[in-house]
Amino acid sequence: MRPPTVAIVLCLLLSTWSPSVTAAVAPAETSYPPPEAVRAAFLKQLDRPKIPLDAETISTSPDGPGLVAERLRFAVETRADGGREWVTALVIRPETTDVRRPAVVVLHGTGGSKDGERERTFLVELARRGILGIAIDARYHGDRSGGAPKSEAYTAAIVRAWRARPGERQEHPWFFDTCWDIWRTLDYLETRADVDASRLGMVGFSMGGIETWLAGAADPRVKVAVPAISVQSFRWTLENDRWQGRAGSVKLVHDAVAADLKKKEVDREVCRALWTKVTPGILDPFDGPSMMRLFAPDRPVLVLSSDNDPNCPIEGMRLAVAAAEKAYGPEAAKERLHVDLARGVGHRVTDEQRQHALQWFETWLQPSRPPNDDARGDALVESFRRTEQALMDAVAVGDTAVWERVMDPACVIVSEEGQVMDKRQFLAELRPLPAGLSGRITVKDVAVREFPSLAVVSYLADEEESVFGQTIGVKYRVSNTYRKDGAGWKMVASLITVVTQDPPAQPVSKKSWPGFVGAYRLLPDGWTFTVELRDGQLYGGRDPQKLRPLVPLTPDAFVLQGSLGEWLFVTENGKATRILNLRKFAPLVWTRVDTPAR
């Protein structure tokens, strides 16, 4: 979709320049791993166990004509002391909740908070355009600072991370830990009945802008992004002696590191040592020129910058934008990658740039458009996938709390062994795997059928388990039924079945196999099963023209390829007289006959 002409005119009025213009004067580009490899590495580096959000609304109040403000919090991870880390958030939205709306995450700068004037004004402007806005406090900021003023708690946390000894649990409060909080914020937005999860955006200022091109680039759920006074190259600033502005944004931290390194003052070696430890990868694969590529090829990005920002030198910004333009390609970059460059304003966002950002979200998130049924369906599938994966993750560790929240009091579960359990019985049997056993179940191929008050969710559960060092793999088909419960869903029934798989052939003696060859019948006049020996491999089947391999488990026990059950040959005097087919645990007896197969 091409933005309306008004957006293009606005770009010209605000002195927006095309990325291709800057590419000609951009510094030499650095070679980075492919974007998907960078995305995977960044997600892996920041990954940690998820815990239930347990979102709590603290207050709800009118916020001007037609608008409502919500204050809330939700849990994002377990702290080192065993407590829960809570994100505090401010939501401003239109008062009507009868339609799913786009939502934008708003991120503040160093020393700020979700309640900052700039952030709150932006939330109100979004809501007036029909977009739900949510601002969160970054780590050690706002309501998460423990009462310390501005960036004092934040500074202390970064210094602690720098001084963490090898083997100690190290936080990453400078950007990275808040990136995790941002991803959990997106998880929270997906749970809201008034949010269209297929239309999520993100805007961040200064520190929040860096978190935007880190967290937003890595998570494709962010469909539109506006990193403000933040796009840069950390590596370029070190290589070109322009690190002073970035170091000055958390000056006391750099001073402390210099003192620890026995330096009289901060220099590039101090910066390199700090940045490498506290934000590992920020000088290489997770630097701006690398991460900005991850928005390509279809997610619209508006970069707000200035020509004399000391914290984000324009040369580094150009380097990042040029790398992004290359990833988008010339046509897509022309439409979806814009830079609004203010003149002579330093590290500041102008009113014109703020309006440009609001227009950018309005153009690309289209708050006036009703939710797309297909998009809503995709969001519903993804929501259930996350729920089912959380349930599967809870199995190995015996976490009953996850199941308790999802299961309806009247829920009935039928296991793969055919055991029927109610909620109480199931939770009583859910225990951590015993010593010597470990494993993981991955949810795949999720399908959802939604009805007015019900949803049927089916998927493939792919289990990999280690049993005292031996690895086994089993696949299950799971079908769960949910009932609508307010804004959420409760599981009322679950049916689990094992997917038939051929076991691996075992190395066994073939000495007795010639005595198995022949025809066997379900007496007195049923089907005939033919067994042949070809090139050292036994084959069997009811149709002599379509015999299938018999997979050996022991010298006289087999599985017929592609079917359920075992085939056991019973011999007398070196020749099989009958076959016991343990079909679904009940034996069928096939008796040797001399007549041709039928």
Confidence (pLDDT) at 348: 95
Domain end residue (candidates: 445, 474, 498): 498
Q: Tell me: do 471 and 534 sit in the same domain.
A: no
CB count, 10 Å around CB of 550? 24
DSSP letter string over 324-373?
A: HHHHH-HHHHHHHEEEEEESS--S---HHHHHHHHHHHHHHH-TTSPPPH
Q: Tell me: do 314 and 419 sit in the same domain.
A: no
Amino acid at 525: D
Confidence (pLDDT) at 486: 75
Q: Tell me: do 352 and 404 sit in the same domain.
A: no
In a domain, 267, yes or no: no
Cα–Cα distance measured from residue 67 to residue 215, given in angstroms and rounded to the nearest whole number: 28
Q: Are 363 and 7 in contact (CB under 8 A)?
A: yes
For residue 153, give the nearest of 184, 190, 112 by alpha carbon: 112
Q: Are 533 and 524 in contact (CB under 8 A)?
A: no
Q: Tell me: do 357 and 393 sit in the same domain.
A: no
In a domain, 385, yes or no: yes
pLDDT profile of the chain (598 residues), mean per 10: 30 36 46 94 94 96 92 96 96 91 97 96 95 97 94 96 92 96 96 93 97 97 97 96 96 97 96 97 96 96 96 96 95 92 95 94 82 64 90 88 93 93 95 87 90 90 88 91 86 92 91 96 94 96 94 96 90 94 83 68
Cα–Cα distance measured from residue 318 to residue 336, given in angstroms and rounded to the nearest whole number: 16
Strand 557-560 and strand 566-572: the pairing is antiparallel
Confidence (pLDDT) at 598: 42
Three-state DSSP at 271 gives helix
- Tokens 């920041």 map to which residue? 46
Q: Tell me: do 409 and 299 sit in the same domain.
A: no
Confidence (pLDDT) at 595: 54
Q: Tell me: do 342 and 454 sit in the same domain.
A: no
Cα-Cα-Cα-Cα dihedral sign, residues 555, 560, 561, 564: negative
CB count, 10 Å around CB of 589? 13
CATH of the domain at 25: 3.40.50.1820
The count of C-alpha atoms lying within 13 angstroms of the C-alpha of 456, restricted to the half-sphere facing its C-beta, is: 4
Both tokens of 354, joined, read: 């703020």
CATH of the domain at 396: 3.10.450.50
Q: Residue 27's Cα: distance from chain center in Å? A: 34
Beta bridge partners of 433: none
Q: What is the DSSP letter of 311?
A: S
In a domain, 286, yes or no: yes
Q: Are 157 and 144 in contact (CB under 8 A)?
A: no
Q: Are 595 and 519 in contact (CB under 8 A)?
A: yes
In a domain, 564, yes or no: yes
Sequence-ordered list of residues with C-beta below 8 angstroms from that of 281, at least 6 positions apart, any chain: 41, 42, 45, 287
The secondary structure element, H or E, covering residue 593 is strand 586-593
Q: Tell me: do 401 and 467 sit in the same domain.
A: yes
Both tokens of 111, joined, read: 């020393």
| Backbone conformation region of residue 585, classed left if phi is above 0, alpha if psi is from -120 to 50, else beta | left
Cα–Cα distance measured from residue 212 to residue 242, given in angstroms and rounded to the nearest whole number: 22
Domain residues for the domain of 442 are: 375-498
In a domain, 275, yes or no: no
Q: Tell me: do 562 and 441 sit in the same domain.
A: no
Q: Tell me: do 199 and 344 sit in the same domain.
A: yes
| Backbone conformation region of residue 124, classed left if phi is above 0, alpha if psi is from -120 to 50, else beta | alpha
Domain end residue (candidates: 464, 498, 532): 498
Q: Tell me: do 58 and 85 sit in the same domain.
A: yes
Cα–Cα distance measured from residue 542 to residue 160, given in angstroms and rounded to the nearest whole number: 73
Three-state DSSP at 420 gives strand
Q: Are 131 and 102 in contact (CB under 8 A)?
A: yes
Cα–Cα distance measured from residue 465 to residue 338, given in angstroms and rounded to the nearest whole number: 49
Cα–Cα distance measured from residue 27 to residue 235, given in angstroms and rounded to the nearest whole number: 12
Cα–Cα distance measured from residue 307 to residue 298, given in angstroms and rounded to the nearest whole number: 27
In a domain, 465, yes or no: yes
Both tokens of 419, joined, read: 């055991």
Q: What is the DSSP letter of 594?
A: S
Q: Please count the structural domains in the chain.
A: 3
Cα–Cα distance measured from residue 368 to residue 231, given in angstroms and rounded to the nearest whole number: 30
Query: From the CA atom positions of the chain, what is the Rg in Å?
Result: 31
Beta bridge partners of 469: none
Has this prediction a pTM greater than 0.85?
no
Both tokens of 204, joined, read: 């961040």
Q: Tell me: do 524 and 456 sit in the same domain.
A: no
Cα–Cα distance measured from residue 127 to residue 452, given in angstroms and rounded to the nearest whole number: 29
Cα–Cα distance measured from residue 356 to residue 341, given in angstroms and rounded to the nearest whole number: 11
Geometric angle at alpha carbon 9, from 5 and 13, rounded to 5°: 165
Both tokens of 586, joined, read: 């009940």
Q: Tell me: do 181 and 323 sit in the same domain.
A: yes
CATH of the domain at 557: 2.40.128
Beta bridge partners of 558: 552, 567
| Backbone conformation region of residue 110, classed left if phi is above 0, alpha if psi is from -120 to 50, else beta | beta
Q: Are 520 and 531 in contact (CB under 8 A)?
A: yes
Cα–Cα distance measured from residue 74 to residue 52, given in angstroms and rounded to the nearest whole number: 9
Confidence (pLDDT) at 572: 93
Q: What are phi and psi of 287, to 5 degrees?
A: -75, 165
Confidence (pLDDT) at 8: 26
User: Reduced to 3 DSSP states, what percent helix, strand and coil does the chain have, rounded to the nearest 5?
Assistant: 35, 30, 35
In a domain, 529, yes or no: yes
Domain end residue (candidates: 498, 523, 539): 498
Sequence-ordered list of residues with C-beta below 8 angstroms from that of 424, at least 6 positions apart, any chain: none
Give the 3-state DSSP-derived string for 426-465, with helices as H, strands as E and coil as C: HHHHCCCCCCCEEEEEEEEEEEEEECCCEEEEEEEEEEEE
Q: Residue 276's Cα: distance from chain center in Å? A: 25
Sequence-ordered list of residues with C-beta below 8 angstroms from that of 500, at least 6 positions apart, any chain: 562, 563, 564
In a domain, 242, yes or no: no
Amino acid at 157: A
